[in-house]
Amino acid sequence: MATSIEQSVKKGWISGLGSNGRRMARIVCAAVVAIFFSTWTADARAEAAGAKMPSDSASLRESARTVFDALPAEAVNPANPSSPAKIELGRILYYDPRFSKNQEISCNTCHLLDRFGVDGLPTSKGHRDERGKRNAPSVYNAALHIAQFWDGRAADVEAQAKGPVLNPIEMAMPSEAAVLGVIRSIPGYAPLFAAAFPQESEPLTYDNMAKAIGAFERKLMTPGPFDAFLRGDDAALSAAQRAGLEQFMSSGCIICHQGPAVGGAMYQKLGLIKPYPTDDPGREAVTGNAADRQVFKVPSLRNVAHTGPYFHDGSIAQLDDAIRIMGEHQLGVALSAAQIASIRTFLEALTGRVDETFVARPALPPSGPTTPRPDPS
Ligand code: HEC
Ligand code: HEC
């Protein structure tokens, strides 16, 4: 396993990751830890004839902390400071289907907050049941990512929130003006916008709609057993989950899946070691650079046991298959069934608790006399 990581390093992709020093340091650190662990595992295997050595939780935690962080309470954005009023407005907008052409689709249609932020479909159904080509990723913990979407084409959750409303195959509104028209026609919204943006003379804007949704999303964090373990609670992970964490690290998954979201921290080619068949150009469509063909944002693995189907096109139904394909195409290793099961056991410890009051469906302000009727066309 160390060999395939060294090969990847020789292939030069680690140095091609960009100038962010902190991220670079982490990646190098991850590679060192991965190589250290794979040597360790190899020795342990030789000694124990295939049996995993019982691990020392404290040193496992120490290694894990060099590549992961516990989730914060909020992914802070200084350009969009949060307040209870802004979050309250964002929650209502998130659930309101009246900003879709046929008034039946809200953010929660494709990112169900009571289903780990996904819809469980390979690709989502939007306006008139039209489908895009990509799987809907979870909104939970997404605000921590370096950018939004599989190809990173939106800088942050605020920029992202402006997209779906106007996307013809998602919420299909014709223009920002039409969206603002709907908001103005619902009498309860003006005071909510005024409370959320108290310094502004004209608070009811499309940008502010996106900022409110963004402020809500920035607190959609799902801490779980893994965070408790990272913070010092040995008992938070079972022995099998700790062994799975070691396997995840020693296999080299952490070269790409790292940081507080266990992913979302960098872009990587799908099929880095062995080509992977897909027509999706990935980041090439954003940067125009041929070297970015089939490069995607490394997805977060938080709650991954519940966010299938997997991959940018939702083509992989089973988590075990996703893990096996990763070994084969990203690392050049054939993971055994036992190794795959062990990694899956660790990934299950990334299932976090959702604060049910925070995400509860709010009462929507009632429509006014001029609120447009649904348009199914
Ligand atoms: C019709 C289904 C649909 C609706 C409605 C929808 N989304 Fe999405 N969402 C998607 C899909 C599909 C993607 C991935 C698209 C891509 O990467 O090209 C996505 C991506 C995202 C992401 C990026 C997550 C990541 O990990 O990169 C966020 C955040 C998000 N949506 C939030 C929202 C919000 C907020 C709304 C409401 C304003 C919304 N979505 C409405 C389907 C939907
Ligand atoms: C070289 C970088 C890299 C390595 C190493 C890597 N991954 Fe991935 N992983 C990715 C990328 C990129 C994707 C997105 C695939 C796509 O766009 O379809 C992904 C997707 C996944 C998914 C699907 C997530 C989802 O929500 O669709 C899982 C699960 C996963 N990886 C687990 C692993 C495991 C386990 C390992 C180690 C055996 C691993 N990965 C190693 C880059 C990597």
Nearest CA to ligand 2 atom 17: 312
What pLDDT sits at residue 140? 98
Nearest CA to ligand 2 atom 15: 311
Residue 27 · residue 14 · CB < 8 Å: yes
Q: Is 134 in the pocket of ligand 1 (CB under 6 A)?
A: yes
Ligand nearest to the CA of 326: 2
How many residues comprise the chain?
A: 377
Q: Is 214 in the pocket of ligand 1 (CB under 6 A)?
A: no
DSSP string of 75-132, one letter each residue: ---TTS---HHHHHHHHHHHH-GGGSTTS---HHHHSBGGGTTB-SSSS-B-GGG-B-
Q: Is 161 in the pocket of ligand 1 (CB under 6 A)?
A: yes
Ligand nearest to the CA of 129: 1
Q: How far is the CA of 299 from the centre of ligand 2 (A)?
A: 7
DSSP state of 22: H
Q: What angle do CA 201, 204, 208 make, to 5 degrees?
A: 100
What pLDDT sits at residue 128? 85
Q: What angle do CA 162, 168, 171 make, to 5 degrees?
A: 60
What pLDDT sits at residue 9? 36
Q: Is 132 in the pocket of ligand 1 (CB under 6 A)?
A: yes
Catalytic residues: 170
4-44 pLDDT, tens digit each? 444 433 333 333 333 344 444 455 455 555 554 544 444 44
Whole-prediction pTM = 0.89
Q: How far is the CA of 157 from the centre of ligand 1 (A)?
A: 10
In 3D space, the residue among 45, 38, 369 whose CA is nearest the CA of residue 186 turns out to be 369
Q: Is 213 in the pocket of ligand 1 (CB under 6 A)?
A: yes
Query: Per-residue pLDDT for the chain (377 aa), expressed as one digit of tens each?
Result: 333 444 433 333 333 333 344 444 455 455 555 554 544 444 443 343 333 444 699 999 999 999 999 999 999 999 999 999 999 999 999 999 999 989 999 999 999 999 999 999 999 988 888 888 999 999 999 999 999 999 999 999 999 999 998 998 889 999 999 999 999 999 999 999 999 999 999 999 999 999 999 999 999 999 999 999 999 999 999 999 999 999 999 999 999 999 999 999 999 999 999 999 999 999 999 999 999 999 999 999 999 999 999 999 999 999 999 999 999 999 999 999 999 999 999 999 999 988 999 999 999 999 999 999 888 88
Rg from Cα positions in the chain: 22
Question: Domains (ranges, CATH) in the chain?
Answer: 2-71+224-348 (1.10.760.10), 84-221 (1.10.760.10)
Q: How far is the CA of 234 from the centre of ligand 1 (A)?
A: 36
* Nearest atom, ligand 2, residue 327 CA: 38
What pLDDT sits at residue 377? 87
Burial class (CB in 10 A: 0-12, 13-18, 19+), 53: middle
Please, which contacts does 20-29 make with residues 24 or more away whose CB atoms are closer than 8 Å?
23/265, 23/266, 26/66, 26/67, 26/258, 26/259, 26/265, 27/255, 27/258, 27/266, 29/66, 29/67
Pocket of ligand 2 (CB under 6 A): 150, 251-253, 255-257, 268, 270, 272, 296, 298-299, 301, 304, 307, 310-312, 322-323, 326-327, 330-331, 343
What pLDDT sits at residue 354? 86
What pLDDT sits at residue 42? 43
Ligand nearest to the CA of 172: 1
Substitution site in 107, 125, 300 for ligand 1 pocket (most atoms within 8 Å of beta carbon) = 107
CA distances from 97 to 116, 185, 371 (A): 20, 14, 13
Helical segments of the chain, H only: 2-10, 21-48, 57-65, 84-95, 107-110, 157-166, 176-185, 189-196, 206-217, 225-230, 239-251, 284-287, 319-325, 337-348, 356-359
What pLDDT sits at residue 24? 45
What pLDDT sits at residue 129? 84
Q: How far is the CA of 307 from the centre of ligand 2 (A)?
A: 13
Count CB atoms within 10 A of the CB of residue 119.
Answer: 19
What pLDDT sits at residue 318? 98
Q: How far is the CA of 131 from the centre of ligand 2 (A)?
A: 24
